[in-house]
Amino acid sequence: MKATAPPAKRRRGPRLAVLALVFCSLLVPIAFLFNRFPAVYVTDERPQQEIDLPSFDRVAFESGGSVNEDVFKKTSGSSSVSHHGIDTGPSIVRTEPKVIVLPPPKIELVLPPPKVEPKPEVKPVPVSVPVHHNKKINVDKIRPPRVQSADEVEKAKACQLEFGSYCLWSIEHKEVMIDTIVKRLKDQLFVARSYYPSIAKLKGKETLTRELKQNIQEHERVLSESIVDADLPSFIKTKVERMDQSIARAKSCTVDCNNVDRKLRQILHMTEDEAHFHMKQSAYLYNLGVHTMPKSHHCLNMRLTVEYFKSMPLDPNDSSAHTFNIPDNRHYVILSKNVLAASVVINSTVSSSEDTENIVFHVLTDAQNFYAMKHWFARNSYRESAVNVINYEQIIFENFPEFGTQQLYLPEEFRVFISSLERPTEKSRMEYLSVFSHSHFFLAEIFKDLKKVIVLDDDLVVQHDLSFLWNLDMGDKVHGAVRFCGLKLGQLRNLLGRTMYDQQSCAWMSGVNVIDLEKWRDHNVTENYLQLLRKFGNNGDEASLRSSALPISLLLFQHLLYPLDERLTLSGLGYDYGIKEKLVQSSASLHYNGNMKPWLELGIPDYRKYWKRFLTRDERFMDECNVSP
């Protein structure tokens, strides 16, 4: 008998490969739809870190920088801080942001509110600011609370958490459109789309199906070319009536309501996703505008640098170089990479001072802008004051090679959200907390011959004489600054780790800061900074290094801070549209902390005029680069 071969086994490999390809072909388009934007956009300008403090009760400020402690005794819930590259233990919840988040990436830390024990607060004596005020300033009058519904509060909070100050800017610049008919067309289109699949399955309804399909296509064609009612064709009323008739006939048919409801919800979700996508696009362009140097400013820097080497001028500092290291002079320090911003700070300070003979400004800049700064301040004079432009990176590299951070960092800004659990319908408050960068902690080493300096941010405008600050007796304190008691160290316990600190110590703001360099050296502030830097900024990347500026700044000065009167500096002009004009005019100095800097086109127009008033006009270079005053 002839043996028969057993049947060959079917090969399963090709079938599995085909199934895998089909599966991937379904997943790839979905993944593309959910990742249409890059996760990070890196710019040369300073970004803002994010701090989300949703469980803070609203803080009531009193004159002199004091704080009502009772509002902290009822805090409950959790808080979170958004940072990058900081590992603080198992309480960190890492989330991947779905939207454009300028560096640093978003990391949320769960922060329980601190326990406040009932004990009397020792209130330091505030510094009186020589400005004219007839009555006490109340922060509630500056930013009056607006009562909103719970849904509006949640939407506003979610928008600010995701997009930051873009939400405030978009509300302020919202264009009022006459689009009543356009909205009606969209509503008709959504209803027709939800009924169409069910009608198409019914027998004997072919005519109604074709009519619905034709009306849907005509509505889509009209809406693709129309945004407002003025864009609509003259015969639109006929199309609206025809669609109403088709929808009425569709509703009279017997269909499964669940299918219609499911389709309508699907269309609703797709529309919401599309609206959110367009909002991300707008927020991306907004962030691109506020974090990028304007083209005209870049042109100005390049022209000044070229002119510096073409003209080969004598060193403009020769005539006044002897005043740079005289301790008895009044020394102001400005860290800046922006020629016009530094010029406005100097010009406003000099214009507001009665005596400018002994004033010296030290402008610390990077190597890229050093020669542009030198040429600008050589061409422009500011009464009897002297301007010393310093290449910060070269100084650190040549004299302090042991310091690892040789790059110039400008003051770091952190976006803080404050809301109340007891009053959930009250509008959440957003603040920008600006603190010292890593470059500030080397001032005592750079200016070894000086005893005291006043540090001014480059987004500041001085409106009153600051000479009284030189007579300030800070006792054994090192640093004089305006406190920000909306944030206390106890609410950053997960961020600060196991370091010893006073939970009731308030945060503080940069802008106008008085530094006693002799006390700084006595307390070894720079050495203590380097120790904290090894603890908080040792992850090796720049994002982690910049994030560490907040805990380091707060910990270093928690017992060395002398509180200045809160009326010395009015903050928020870079994001808050609600500050009253009378308060702006009467403040000793204006701090444009936030995204909307006054030299940007996106700056708040009502506040930009105070900055432009002190802008030095150099016709030759500014006209060539189209720098608008």
Tens of pLDDT, residue by residue over 7-16, are 554 555 666 6
Q: Whose structure tokens read 């650190």?
A: 396
The mean per-residue pLDDT over the stretch 224-241 comes to 90
**pLDDT above 50: residue 426:** yes
**pLDDT above 60: residue 437:** yes
List all residues 6 or more positions away from 3 whose beta carbon is below 8 Å from its beta carbon.
none
Q: Quick one: tokens of 244?
A: 């109403």
pTM of this prediction?
A: 0.71
| pLDDT the model gives residue 323 | 78
Tens of pLDDT, residue by residue over 494-552, are 777 777 788 888 999 999 999 999 999 999 999 999 888 888 877 667 888 888 899 99
The mean per-residue pLDDT over the stretch 481-496 comes to 83
What percent of the chain is predicted at pLDDT more than 70? 71
| pLDDT the model gives residue 46 | 52
**pLDDT above 80: residue 119:** no
Look at 133-137, 261-265, 306-310, 459-463 and tell me which has the smallest mean pLDDT. 133-137
Cβ burial 356-386 (10 Å sphere, 16+ → b, else e): beebbbbbbbbeebbbbbbbbbbbeebeebb
Instruction: Measure the CA–CA gap between 503 and 111, rounded to whole angstroms.
Output: 13
Q: pLDDT-based confidence at 254, cuts 50/70/90?
A: confident
Cis peptide before 104 (omega within 30 of 0): yes
List all residues 6 or more positions away from 607 whose beta carbon is below 8 Å from its beta carbon.
573, 579, 584, 590, 592, 598
Q: Are 520 and 333 in contact (CB under 8 A)?
A: no
What percent of the chain is predicted at pLDDT more than 90? 42
3-state helix, strand, coil in the chain (%, to 5): 45, 15, 40
Look at 23-27, 45-49, 575-579, 621-625 and tell me which has the smallest mean pLDDT. 45-49
Q: Quick one: tokens of 498?
A: 């196991």
Q: Residue 327 carries which side chain, given as an amino acid letter?
A: P
How is 514-555 classified by DSSP, letter by letter? EEEHHHHHHTTHHHHHHHHHHHHS-SSSHHHHHHTHHHHHHH
**pLDDT above 60: residue 36:** no
Mean pLDDT rounded to a whole number for the chain: 77
**pLDDT above 90: residue 255:** no
The mean per-residue pLDDT over the stretch 328-344 comes to 95
**pLDDT above 50: residue 92:** no
Tens of pLDDT, residue by residue over 144-198, are 444 555 666 677 777 877 888 888 888 888 878 888 999 999 999 999 999 999 9
For residue 38, the Cα-to-chain-centroid distance in whole angstroms is: 19
Instruction: Measure the CA–CA gap between 515 and 590, rounded to whole angstroms.
Output: 20
For the chain, the domains span 178-289, 293-309+322-623
Instruction: Measure the CA–CA gap between 219 and 51, rounded to whole angstroms.
Output: 45
Torsions phi, psi of 119, nearest 5? -145, 150
Strands (E), 357-459: 359-365, 386-391, 412-418, 429-435, 452-456
Tens of pLDDT, residue by residue over 71-88, are 333 333 333 333 333 333
Q: What is the H or E stretch that residue 277 is in?
A: helix 257-290
- HSE of 17, CA atoms in CB hemisphere, 13 A: 4
List all residues 6 or more positions away from 111 whose beta carbon is below 8 Å from its beta carbon.
53, 78, 79, 80, 81, 491, 492, 493, 494, 495
Secondary structure of 565-594 as H, E, C letters:
CHHHCEECCCCCCCCCHHHHHHCCEEECCC
Tens of pLDDT, residue by residue over 448-458, are 999 999 999 99
Strands of 48-53's sheet, edge to edge?
92-94, 107-111, 79-82, 48-53, 412-418, 429-435
Strands of 460-462's sheet, edge to edge?
460-462, 589-591, 570-571
Q: Which of 336, 414, 409, 413 is nearest to 377 (CA)?
A: 336
Look at 28-37, 135-144, 604-613 and tell me which has the smallest mean pLDDT. 135-144
| pLDDT the model gives residue 124 | 40
Query: Does domain 293-309+322-623 match CATH 3.90.550.10?
Result: yes
Secondary structure of 140-203 as H, E, C letters:
HHHCCCCECCHHHHHHHHHHHHHHCCHHHHHHHCCCCCCCHHHHHHHHHHHHHHHHHHHHHCCC
For residue 397, the Cα-to-chain-centroid distance in whole angstroms is: 31
Q: Which of 523, 548, 550 is nearest to 533 (CA)?
A: 548
Q: Are 410 and 337 in contact (CB under 8 A)?
A: yes
Q: Are 67 and 565 in contact (CB under 8 A)?
A: no
